[in-house]
Chain A
Amino acid sequence: GIQVEQSPPDLILQEGANSTLRCNFSDSVNNLQWFHQNPWGQLINLFYIPSGTKQNGRLSATTVATERYSLLYISSSQTTDSGVYFCAVEGGTASKLTFGTGTRLQVTL
Chain B
Amino acid sequence: ETGVTQTPRHLVMGMTNKKSLKCEQHLGHNAMYWYKQSAKKPLELMFVYSLEERVENNSVPSRFSPECPNSSHLFLHLHTLQPEDSALYLCASSQWVNYGYTFGSGTRLTVV
Contacts and interface: CB of A to CB of B under 8 A. Distances in A.
Interface residues of B, number: 22
A25 interface: no
A41 interface: yes
Contacts, number: 51
A42 B103 contact: yes
Given A41-B88, A90-B98, A100 B103 contact: no
Interface in B43-67: 43, 45, 48, 56, 58
Interface string A58-85: 0000000000000000000000000000
Contacts of A41: 88, 90, 105-106, 108
Given A97-B45, A100-B42, A101-B41, A45 B88 contact: no
Nearest to A45: B101
A96 B103 contact: no
Contacts of A97: 45, 98, 101
A96 B48 contact: yes
Interface residues of A, number: 22
A89 to B, nearest CB: 10
B98 A43 contact: no
Given A96-B45, A101-B41, A102-B42, A44 B56 contact: no
A86 B42 CA distance: 9
Contacts of B105: 40-42
Contacts of A35: 101, 103
Interface of A: 4, 31, 33, 35, 40-45, 48, 86, 88, 90, 95-102
* Those 3 A-B pairs whose CB atoms lie nearest each other, nearest first: A43-B103, A99-B43, A99-B42
Given A43-B103, A86-B42, A101-B42, 12 more contacts: A31-B98, A41-B90, A41-B108, A43-B101, A45-B100, A45-B103, A95-B97, A97-B45, A97-B101, A99-B42, A99-B43, A102-B42
